[in-house]
């Protein structure tokens, strides 16, 4: 009895220390989050800030009627899928390659990781000059010098989104590589020795030993790439501002435009709610898929 | 027990530290300067341009109104509206608010800004109208902005070219330049702005300037008319620039700075922009000789520049220093005030009656257009629909890349306008 009481009191002592952070969290995170749900059912806009009316599902229906919002959903999904698949595979290839005994190993590792250090805004500025079609565009100068036609990387509506993906793969693959490297180094060497004794070549060793044991890091990289991809904003903002036309508008840029430029607060809130639910479902499906894969390979 | 008390104390202290940031800060300055000079009143003015852009004006206020201390608050344009609106909703905000025509009319309807019609008589109609709601003035029209076509004088002289007087001549000009291996015009079409302005300028010449279309913009704001069915002929004509490949898809990959570089370094003979670019052009190439001509339509005439009143200064109706605010606005509305304001915004013109400034040499060829008062921006009269210009520009990017026809683009813009008007028509 006495020990139980003491234990309880001790727990209480510790938990009271959480209080300030908890209040901060409730006030600045949970409360705004919940109010988004509330506003999504009202007619809140920059012309109507008080006396809000309940409008039911009108805002949610409005999403499907808006070209901008629909295109942005499509673009975000393409972007997130490409980022997830390529960041994971390219990162994995780089990591396996740079895990070998190379003299230039450390230099190469730092070089691949370096772009991740910079802010996407700087990267965006840099690449918009590199990919420009003006005479100052470095890549296009090289292409024309070789006698080919200029490629309109950021100005062609069919190409712009993929150009953005390329810059982001360039920036973030090194980051994925680092995570994979950490995981690779934790795989016991004796497993490889055992596989060699069984006569496995390096290809089989990769598939049967390395990859299954990489599951935890693949999990982390894939899920963060997916979520990060769905809510991409900064690089679009710096590189294309959603253009040309709406061809690189993503969920977040469209959200900002709807709420802050056009003043449709409630509609933006509804879009935010839909986005939240969608990300939650996608993440859950992905996690369970990756978990199953982990279980099967073990 | 003691330990619990200690922990509680720690928790409470930590909490109070966290929350301390939320309060206090705002009230302190007022208390602090009471001991200083008891008569000095602090008037806060917020603007989205850096302090240098109004420095002479602020100095003038300091000199002429010793009882007032102006506190200048710079807020970046991207965040400006957001921050100001939050403050206004809470019944606070700066004493003098910088606005654009659309926000001014919105704030007026919401009661955030004061009727300042007592100063209205001093300004001419062109500036007054865009900042008035129901015949009452709500913001002082600032120094105007305008955009025309800069051209490289050396290239023009070398090829014996003269600034055009009609759109046909402008097309011919493009052709000659192109034949001589010079890029006729640079355009940073990666931004939605230049094509929007270029095409609207043609519409202003060929459609809006006609007496029968005088009320088009106002009717468009009310949803009574559409672009599709009205602007098609003019825009089709304008799109000759695209069809003849003077404006190319390449330009969608070029932004404002890169286009400026092309013009400043003589790679392109023309570039559409305004007074704000002059300094940067000269910084990049001090020897460049350039001038500006206006946009023309099919008929010869004075041409049009796209533009309008710049920033509008409005008075917060919740301000505690109403009288002092009016003193400042009154000072701005004198020739002296306008001169001081213009000093940091050279190139624009004043809307104050009887005030004229000497134009810098880069604008010699647009002086006739300015004299005729042919400076206009249709969207300033589009009310709730004025935000559609971004979509307008974006759909025109599709036109340039061949993904949309002119009619399709105009229809898409009309759809967006309807959405903007409907949602806010309370």
Q: Report ipTM for this prediction.
A: 0.78
Q: What is the CATH number of the domain that holds B55?
A: 3.40.190.10
Shortest alpha-carbon distance between residue B267 and chain A (Å): 9
The pLDDT value given to residue B23? 41
The reply to whether B269 and B127 lie within a common domain is: no
CA distance B327 to chain A (A): 30
Helical H segments across B372-405, by residue range: 389-400
Residue B270 bridge partners (DSSP): B151, B185
DSSP state of B386: G
pLDDT recorded at residue B200: 94
Q: Where are the domains of chain A?
A: 58-297
Looking at residue B26, its pLDDT comes to: 40
B253 and A240 within 8 Å at the Cβ level: the answer is: no
Chain A residues closer than 8 Å to B398 by CB? 157, 244-245
Looking at residue B38, what is its pLDDT? 56
> Domain A58-297: which CATH class?
mainly alpha
**Which residue of chain A is at minimal alpha-carbon distance from B188?**
A134
Look at residue B425 in the predicted model and tell me its pLDDT.
59
- Of the candidates B37, B55, B36, B35, the one whose C-alpha atom is nearest the C-alpha of residue B45 is B55
Residues of chain B with pLDDT under 70: 1-38, 78, 424-426
Rounded-to-integer distance, Cα B338 and Cα B342, Å: 6
- The Cβ of residue A149 has, within 10 Å, a number of other Cβ atoms equal to 8
- Answer whether B251 sits within 8 Å of A16, measured CB to CB: no
In terms of Cα–Cα distance, which of B303, B319, B360, B355 is closest to B68? B319
Distances (CA, A) of B165 to A64, B275, B363, B369: 47, 21, 16, 11
In this complex, which of A23, A132, A137 lies closest to B15 when CB atoms are compared?
Answer: A23
Q: Which has the closest alpha carbon to A141: B286, B267, B402, B178?
A: B267
> Coil, helix or strand for B352?
strand
B 182-201: CB under 8 A from A = 189-192
Q: Quick check: is B235 in a domain?
A: yes
Q: Does some domain include residue B29?
A: no
Residues B326, B196 within the same domain: no
DSSP B325-346: HHHHHHHHTSHHHHHHHHHTSB
DSSP of B193-214: HHHHHHHHHHHIIIIITSGGGT
Number of compact structural domains in chain B = 2
- The β-bridge partners of B268 are B183
Question: Cβ distance A182 to A221 under 8 Å?
Answer: no
Among the listed residues B133, B109, B162, the one whose alpha carbon sits nearest the alpha carbon of residue B426: B109
**Predicted local confidence at residue A298, as pLDDT:** 57
* % of chain A at pLDDT higher than 70: 99
| pTM score | 0.80
* Contact: A150, B192; criterion CB under 8 Å: no
Same-domain check for residues B136 and B278:
no
CA distance A92 to A31: 40
CB A233 within 8 A of CB A250: yes
Residue of B nearest to A65 (CA): B419
Give the gap in angstroms from C-alpha B188 to the nearest C-alpha of chain A: 10
A262: nearest CB among B15, B192, B387: B387
User: How wide is the angle at C-alpha B153 spanned by C-alphas B360 and B294, nearest 5°?
Assistant: 60
Say if CB B314 and CB B96 are below 8 A apart. yes
Least CA distance to A23: which residue of chain B?
Answer: B15
Closest residue of A to B89, CA-based? A49
Residue A93 main-chain phi, psi, to 5 deg: -60, -45
A103-A104-A107-A108 Cα dihedral, nearest 10 degrees: -130
Q: Tell me: do B294 and B316 sit in the same domain.
A: no
| CB spacing of B398 vs A244 below 8 angstroms | yes
A261–B424 C-beta distance less than 8 A: no
Per-residue model confidence (pLDDT) at position A189: 87
Return the closest-CA partner of residue A80 out of A178, A292, A243, A224.
A224
Please tell me whether residues B84 and B130 are part of one structural domain: yes
Please state, in angstroms and rounded to a whole number, the distance separating the CA atoms of residues B12 and A100: 54
Nearest to B285 by CA among B263, B300, B264, B270: B264
Q: Is the CB of B423 inside 8 Å of chain A's CB atoms?
A: yes
Give the whole-angstrom CA distance, residue B60 versus residue B303. 36
Kindly report the average pLDDT of chain A as a whole number. Answer: 88
| CA B126 to mean position of chain CA atoms | 15
Within 137-176 of B, beta carbons closer than 8 Å to A belong to: none
Count CB neighbours of B81 within 10 A.
18
Position B3 scores a pLDDT of: 53
Residue among A262, A242, A243, A244 at smallest CA distance from A252:
A242
Same domain, B318 and B238: no
Same domain, yes or no: B60 and B154 = no
**Number of alpha carbons in the 13 Å side-chain half-sphere of residue B197:** 26
- What is d(CA B95, CA A78) in angstroms, rounded to the nearest whole number? 47
Closest Cα to residue B256, out of B188, B183, B197?
A: B188
The pLDDT, as a whole number, for residue A150 is 85
Best mutation site among B242, B252, B259, B411 for testing chain A: the one with the most A CBs within 10 Å?
B252
Other beta carbons less than 10 A from residue B340's beta carbon: 22
- Position B424 scores a pLDDT of 62
Domain that holds residue B48: 38-143+310-333
Residue of B nearest to A125 (CA): B255
Do B95 and B55 lie in one domain? The reply is yes
Report residue B186: phi and psi, to 5°: -90, 140
DSSP A148: P
CB half-sphere exposure, B124, CA atoms < 13 A: 14
Give DSSP secondary structure letters for B75-101: --HHHHHHHHHHHHHTT---SEEEE-H
Residues 6+ apart with CB under 8 A from A71: A246, A247, A249, A254
Mean pLDDT of A227-240: 90
- For residue A133, the distance in angstroms to the closest alpha carbon of chain B comes to 5
Do residues B83 and B153 both lie within one domain?
no
* Burial annotation B367-395 (CB, 10 A radius, 16+ → b, else e): eebbeeebbbbbbbbbbbbbbbbbbbbbb
Distances (CA, A) of B208 to B137, B304, B389, B393: 25, 11, 17, 19
Residue A95 pLDDT grade (very low, low, confident, very high; cuts 50, 70, 90): very high
Q: In A17-131, which residue ranges form alpha helices assigned H by DSSP?
A: 19-25, 31-39, 58-65, 67-98, 105-113, 120-130
User: Does B73 fall in a domain?
Assistant: yes
Residue A243 has pLDDT above 80, yes or no: no
């Amino acid at each position: 009895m006495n020990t139980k009481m003491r234990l309880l009191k001790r727990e209480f002592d510790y938990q009271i220390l959480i209080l300030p952070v908890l209040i901060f969290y409730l006030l600045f995170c949970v409360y705004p989050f919940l109010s988004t749900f509330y506003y999504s059912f009202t007619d809140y806009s920059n012309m109507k800030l008080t006396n809000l009316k309940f409008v039911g599902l009108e805002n949610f229906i409005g999403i499907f009627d808006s070209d901008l919002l629909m295109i942005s959903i499509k673009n975000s999904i393409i972007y997130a899928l490409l980022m997830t698949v390529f960041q994971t595979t390219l990162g994995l290839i780089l990591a396996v390659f740079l895990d070998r005994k190379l003299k230039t190993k450390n230099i190469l590792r730092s070089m691949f990781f370096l772009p991740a250090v910079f802010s996407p805004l700087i990267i965006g500025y840099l690449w918009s000059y590199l990919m420009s079609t003006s005479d100052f565009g470095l890549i296009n100068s090289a292409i024309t010098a070789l006698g080919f036609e200029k490629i309109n990387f950021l100005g062609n509506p069919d190409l712009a989104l993929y150009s953005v993906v390329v810059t982001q793969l360039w920036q973030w693959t090194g980051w994925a590589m680092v995570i994979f490297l950490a995981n690779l180094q934790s795989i016991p060497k004796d497993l490889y020795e055992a596989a060699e004794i069984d006569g496995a070549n390096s290809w089989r060793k990769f598939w049967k030993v390395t990859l299954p044991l990489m599951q935890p890091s693949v999990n982390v990289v894939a899920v963060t790439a997916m979520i990060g991809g769905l809510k991409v904003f900064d690089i679009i903002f710096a590189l294309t501002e959603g253009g040309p036309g709406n061809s690189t508008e993503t969920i977040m840029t469209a959200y900002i435009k709807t709420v802050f430029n056009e003043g449709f607060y409630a509609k933006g809130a509804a879009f935010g709610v839909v986005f939240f639910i969608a990300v939650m479902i996608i993440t859950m499906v992905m996690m369970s898929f990756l978990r199953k894969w982990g279980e099967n390979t073990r | 027990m003691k330990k619990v008390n200690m922990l509680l104390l720690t928790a409470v202290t930590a909490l109070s530290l966290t929350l301390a940031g939320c309060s206090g800060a705002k009230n302190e300055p007022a208390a602090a300067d009471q001991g200083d000079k008891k008569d000095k009143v602090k008037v806060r003015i917020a603007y989205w341009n850096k302090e240098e852009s109004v420095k002479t004006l602020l100095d003038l206020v300091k000199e002429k109104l010793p009882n007032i201390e102006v506190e200048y608050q710079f807020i970046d344009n991207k965040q400006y509206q957001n921050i100001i609106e939050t403050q206004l909703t809470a019944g606070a905000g700066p004493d003098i608010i910088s606005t654009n025509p659309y926000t001014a009319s919105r704030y007026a309807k919401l009661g955030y800004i004061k009727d300042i019609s007592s100063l209205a008589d001093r300004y001419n109609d062109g500036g007054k109208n865009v900042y008035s709601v129901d015949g009452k003035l709500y913001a002082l029209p600032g120094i105007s902005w305008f955009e025309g076509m800069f051209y490289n004088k050396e290239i023009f002289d070398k090829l014996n070219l003269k600034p055009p007087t009609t759109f046909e001549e402008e097309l011919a000009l493009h052709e000659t330049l192109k034949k001589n291996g010079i890029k006729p015009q640079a355009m940073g079409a990666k931004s939605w702005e230049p094509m929007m302005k270029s095409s609207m300028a043609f519409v202003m010449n060929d459609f809006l300037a006609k007496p029968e279309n005088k009320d088009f913009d106002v009717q468009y704001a009310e949803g009574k008319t559409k672009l599709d069915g009205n602007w098609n002929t003019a825009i089709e004509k304008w799109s000759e620039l695209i069809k003849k490949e003077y404006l190319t898809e390449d330009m969608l990959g070029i932004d404002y700075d890169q286009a400026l570089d092309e013009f400043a370094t003589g790679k392109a003979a023309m570039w559409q922009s305004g007074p704000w670019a002059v300094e940067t052009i000269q910084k990049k190439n001090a020897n460049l000789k350039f001038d500006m001509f206006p946009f023309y339509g099919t008929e010869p005439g004075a041409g049009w520049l796209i533009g309008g009143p710049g920033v509008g200064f409005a008075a917060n109706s919740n301000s505690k220093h109403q009288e002092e605010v009016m003193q400042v606005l009154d000072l701005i509305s004198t020739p002296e005030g306008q001169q001081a304001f213009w000093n940091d915004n050279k190139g624009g013109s004043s809307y104050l009656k009887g005030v004229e400034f000497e134009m810098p040499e880069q604008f010699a060829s647009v002086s006739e257009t300015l004299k005729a008062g042919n400076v206009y921006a249709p969207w300033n009269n589009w009310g709730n629909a004025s935000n559609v210009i971004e979509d307008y520009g974006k759909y025109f990017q599709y036109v340039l890349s061949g993904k949309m026809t002119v009619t399709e683009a105009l229809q898409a813009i009309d759809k967006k306008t309807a959405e903007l008007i409907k949602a806010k028509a309370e």
